Amino acid sequence: MRAPVSWIREYADLPAEATSEEIARRLTALGLKLEALEVGGADITGPLVVGRVLTKEPELQKNGKTINWCTVDVGPDLNAANGTGEADQGVGIVCGAHNFEVGDLVVVVLPGGVLPGGFAISARKTYGHISAGMICSARELGLGEDHDGIIVLPADAGEPGDDAFDVLGLREDVIEMEINPDRAYALSLRGVAREAATAFGVGFTDPVDRPVPPADDAGHPVVVDDPEGCPVFVARLVEGFDPTAPTPDWMARRIVQAGMRPISLAVDVTNYVMLETGRPIHGYDADKVRGALRIRRAEEGERLTTLDGTERVLSAEDLLVTDDSGPIGLGGVMGGETTEMSSTTTRVLVEAAHWDPVSMFRTGRRHRITSEAGKRNERGADPATCEAAADRVVELLTAHGGGTAAPGTTVVGAPPARRVVRMAADLPARVTGMAIDEATTVAHLEAVGCLVERDGADLVATVPLWRPDLTDPFDLVEEVARLVGYDRVPAVLPRPVGGRGLTRPQQLRRRVGRLLAGAGLVEVVSMPFVGDGDLDALEIAPDDPRRRWVPLANPLSTEQPGYTATLLPGILRAAARNVGRGADGVAIFETATVAFAPEDGLEAPIYGVDDRPTPAELATLEAALPRQPQHLAVVLAGPREQPGWYGPGRDADWADAIDVVRRLADDLHVELEVAAAQVAPWHPGRCAELRVGDTVLGHAGELHPRVCAALDLPRRTAVVEVDLDALLAAAPEVVVGPSLSSYPVAKEDVALVVPAEVPAAAVERALRDGAGDLLESVRLFDVYAGEQVAEGHRSLAFALRLRAPDRTLTDEEAAAARDAAVARAAELYGAHQRS
């Protein structure tokens, strides 16, 4: 909402010394938040003065255009400075407009002045004359559109040389405020001025408080079929209106200042009255209206061309204004084309009607229409203003466009009764924590327009019709609190009873993040939007669960129309971006929620809001939502260890990917099993399935070379995606402490030849199994395949460390444990010791 300060002052008796800043500050404190304070004329530099045209000689130019060579009296001082040097001779100015005569008062900007847009004025030679300035139009001064040329001031506007800023109202400040949706009343000067008067504790004159002619049957006939949709409909008629009459400058200026565009007198008057009262008005060309106006709901599929030229297919919920010809307007939202006012309209039928806000909201949304009128109607205008607003329109139309008010005032329906809200008298104090006594409460409620009575321990407030938002006791508390002043709320720290701290998963997630960062990985956060194209690039199979992303009805991008079920597309995009930006290595991780759409589709229930849903209802709601685990993804590409003075460095590969998860699992005391797998987008020979017991956590390994190429990633890019929730769930809460033997360790190395397809992890498990309790650790330290072992076999060399808790192991004991371990491997996998 943009409110010119002079307009506010028209209704609020603000002290003359109150600055615009102060007014804006106090309105902000009441909840009408200052967005911008526009200081009038800030974009214009003078000299900008009143001038009187002394001579005007039309001169035909070669280009076929006629210009006027004028001399203009701009007052003795400026004449002397800019003209011939003589105080009594005007300055010479070339003017292209023709809508003025000798003797008219005009607005002149002189050399040195700057107009909006940084347009600097200087004396310059044009059309064979030295033009020492410019005669201004409204558009050049940012005052709106031109009607037909330059501004011609009224004869009593001032004397030559007078400062034109004041004459034009250019120094007018405008306060632009953000109006919250509950404060529809503040979308009018009436509402803003009321708040300003309250803020300063001064008098307020209500612009709708005016005598109106009584309703009668002589006006234009109106039938309201749907009084719920249209509780009040007022119609007035103006006849003999001059459609060519211009909008008075002051009105056009205020319309511009309020952020709208002057169009024609008839339209401008309806907008002006809307800005003034908050009541949207519609004007019809009465000559185009056929018979009685009828207000009804549309029939499904009925059509109407609105005055923006769009043909709209209507819904049965839309409210219509119709006449004998059919629909002529989308009630309260937008008028129809057939009865639109035009440059030949001489009979104006004025509609001031109150419409059901919910219908307005739905119709506006359905047809995607946003308008100043719609904004006010859907938030709830004051239903009691219809008659006064219509009368004000008639007054302004006849005052500035001639014509007369036709007899007859049609009023259908009546404003509803005022709502009564009951509130415990001490509620404001109890809710705000401020010491607010009852007298203060009553005074503030009255200040916002309530009638207040005491009833036992309660206050009974009859709320004004312009405040449809005041329905509950707590709404009244807010009114009292904001008038007392939010800045007076004291600060008191509440004392919760001991909390339980972070949950175990919350703690573990922090731990995981720190471990990964400690391992040299950088965390990223990606957009979770995905589309089939992303998954196609990863060669993910059509029946893969990662295809079950949650589809969005209104995605921002058609390529990524869903919420993802895998982190890979997002983190791989980030990896490629790093590579593209010249990173010589990528080591990133992401933990985020993914969602798997249920196969039978998504559909959640809607419950009432008067009471808590039953546990069964809540369970139903929970079951309707997709499964949304937290996943962890990792991408490693390029140097894992950088080359340097110490050596050549080392590029990341499949092993680094698996190791990331192995280390997490070790730290969390989760027994991770690793097995070969073939899953997209991984390299079929370099992909591991990661399991805890029977639960598959996910996969790790190298990307398929085709995928690397498709995504512009380096060869051998290594990738992980696991279900982090599942990993964390497997972590034991309490770890049993070790018993540390101080006896010496016995070291036994064995090299086992096994068929090449036997996984190293299996052989290691067999060794552990066979070695028994004396085994402290086993570590694979070499893998050999070649001449010295049989074709199709390889040699795996393990270092066993054996130790007893209570004695030094003899050589025989150590050898026996080693032999038992080897025997187990031989039994399970045909392993034999390499000689």
Please report, as residue ranges, which positions from 596 to 635 form the binding site for other proteins (by CB under 8 A). 601-613, 618, 621, 624-626, 628
**550 neighbors 604 (Cβ within 8 angstroms):** no
Q: What distance in Å separates the CA atoms of residue 582 and residue 472, rounded to the nearest whole number?
A: 60
441 binds other proteins per the rule CB under 8 A: no
422 bridge partner residues: 460
Applying the rule CB under 8 A, the residues between 404 and 433 that interact with other proteins are: 430-433
299 binds other proteins per the rule CB under 8 A: no
**814 neighbors 769 (Cβ within 8 angstroms):** no
For the beta carbon of residue 365, count every other beta carbon within 10 angstroms: 12
| Distance of closest approach, residue 412 Cβ to other proteins, in angstroms | 25
Tokens of 537: 């690039």
Name the segment binding other proteins (CB under 8 A); options: 288-296, 405-413, 644-652, 687-695: 644-652
Cα–Cα–Cα angle for 205, 208, 211, rounded to 5 degrees: 105
Give Rg (Cα) of the chain.
41
| Distance of closest approach, residue 519 Cβ to other proteins, in angstroms | 6
| Distance of closest approach, residue 554 Cβ to other proteins, in angstroms | 6
| Distance of closest approach, residue 409 Cβ to other proteins, in angstroms | 33
User: Which residues have CB under 8 Å from 730's CB, separation 6+?
Assistant: 668, 670, 692, 693, 695
| Distance of closest approach, residue 208 Cβ to other proteins, in angstroms | 24
Single residue of 69, 200, 486, 784 touching other proteins by CB under 8 A: 486
835 binds other proteins per the rule CB under 8 A: no
Q: What distance in Å separates the CA atoms of residue 37 and residue 407, rounded to the nearest whole number?
A: 44
Q: For other proteins, which is the closer residue by CB, 33 or 832?
A: 33
Single residue of 7, 165, 529, 682 touching other proteins by CB under 8 A: 529
Q: What distance in Å separates the CA atoms of residue 505 and residue 394, rounded to the nearest whole number?
A: 70
| Distance of closest approach, residue 43 Cβ to other proteins, in angstroms | 20
Alpha-carbon distance values, 370 to 307, 356, 377 (Å): 13, 16, 11
Alpha-carbon distance values, 229 to 334, 360, 389 (Å): 15, 9, 20
Single residue of 98, 290, 362, 765 touching other proteins by CB under 8 A: 362
Alpha-carbon distance values, 801 to 42, 329, 437 (Å): 86, 91, 82
648 binds other proteins per the rule CB under 8 A: no
| Distance of closest approach, residue 560 Cβ to other proteins, in angstroms | 10
| Distance of closest approach, residue 32 Cβ to other proteins, in angstroms | 9
Q: What distance in Å separates the CA atoms of residue 296 and residue 96, rounded to the nearest whole number?
A: 53
Single residue of 118, 201, 490, 792 touching other proteins by CB under 8 A: 490
Q: Tell me the residue type at 406.
A: A
Per-residue contact string for residues 305-344; x = within reach of other proteins by CB under 8 A: ----------------------------------------
Q: For other proteins, which is the closer residue by CB, 326 or 520?
A: 520
| Distance of closest approach, residue 97 Cβ to other proteins, in angstroms | 42
Tokens of 790: 């049989």
Q: For other proteins, which is the closer residue by CB, 326 or 649?
A: 649
Single residue of 73, 478, 659, 723 touching other proteins by CB under 8 A: 478
Q: What distance in Å separates the CA atoms of residue 426 and residue 446, rounded to the nearest whole number?
A: 16
198 binds other proteins per the rule CB under 8 A: no
378 binds other proteins per the rule CB under 8 A: yes
Applying the rule CB under 8 A, the residues between 32 and 51 that interact with other proteins are: 33
Helix (H) or strand (E) holding 81: helix 76-82
Q: For other proteins, which is the closer residue by CB, 627 or 715?
A: 627
492 binds other proteins per the rule CB under 8 A: yes
Q: What distance in Å separates the CA atoms of residue 457 and residue 425, rounded to the nearest whole number?
A: 6
Eight-class DSSP state of 806:
S
371 binds other proteins per the rule CB under 8 A: no
Q: For other proteins, which is the closer residue by CB, 391 or 590?
A: 590
714 binds other proteins per the rule CB under 8 A: no
Q: What distance in Å separates the CA atoms of residue 310 and residue 814, rounded to the nearest whole number?
A: 93
| Distance of closest approach, residue 382 Cβ to other proteins, in angstroms | 18
Single residue of 3, 586, 722, 804 touching other proteins by CB under 8 A: 586
| Distance of closest approach, residue 283 Cβ to other proteins, in angstroms | 27
Q: For other proteins, which is the closer residue by CB, 416 or 520?
A: 520
Q: For other proteins, which is the closer residue by CB, 517 or 675?
A: 517
498 binds other proteins per the rule CB under 8 A: yes
Single residue of 62, 118, 645, 806 touching other proteins by CB under 8 A: 645
Eight-class DSSP state of 735:
P
Single residue of 365, 669, 715, 747 touching other proteins by CB under 8 A: 365
**814 neighbors 746 (Cβ within 8 angstroms):** yes
Half-sphere exposure of 565 toward its Cβ, with a 13 Å CA cutoff?
17
Phi, psi dihedral angles at 146 (to 5 degrees):
-75, 145
| Distance of closest approach, residue 498 Cβ to other proteins, in angstroms | 6
Q: For other proteins, which is the closer residue by CB, 122 or 506?
A: 506
Q: For other proteins, which is the closer residue by CB, 504 or 807?
A: 504
Q: Is the dihedral of CA 331, 333, 336, 342 positive or negative?
A: positive
Q: Is the peptide bond before 47 cis (omega within 30 degrees of 0)?
A: yes
Phi, psi dihedral angles at 473 (to 5 degrees):
-55, -40
User: Which residues have CB under 8 Å from 216's CB, separation 6+?
Assistant: 408, 409
Applying the rule CB under 8 A, the residues between 547 and 576 that interact with other proteins are: 550-556, 563, 570-571, 573-575
Q: For other proteins, which is the closer residue by CB, 265 or 436?
A: 436
Applying the rule CB under 8 A, the residues between 499 and 528 that interact with other proteins are: 499-503, 506, 510, 513-514, 516-528
Alpha-carbon distance values, 557 to 530, 560, 562, 574, 740 (Å): 9, 5, 9, 18, 60
1 binds other proteins per the rule CB under 8 A: no
Q: For other proteins, which is the closer residue by CB, 456 or 501?
A: 501
**Residue with token string 């004159």:** 205
Q: For other proteins, which is the closer residue by CB, 242 or 458?
A: 458
Size of the site for other proteins (CB under 8 A): 115
Name the segment binding other proteins (CB under 8 A); options: 141-149, 291-299, 591-599, 816-824: 591-599
What would the DSSP string read from start to end of 594-653? --B--TT--------SSSPPPHHHHHHHHHHSPB--EEEEEEEESEEE--BTTB--EE--
Q: Tell me the residue type at 165.
A: F
Phi, psi dihedral angles at 576 (to 5 degrees):
-65, -35
| Distance of closest approach, residue 28 Cβ to other proteins, in angstroms | 6
What would the DSSP string read from start to end of 210-259? ---PPP-SSS--EEES-TTT-SEEEEEEEES--TTPPPPHHHHHHHHHTT
Single residue of 19, 61, 180, 788 touching other proteins by CB under 8 A: 180
Q: For other proteins, which is the closer residue by CB, 184 or 687?
A: 184
| Distance of closest approach, residue 577 Cβ to other proteins, in angstroms | 6
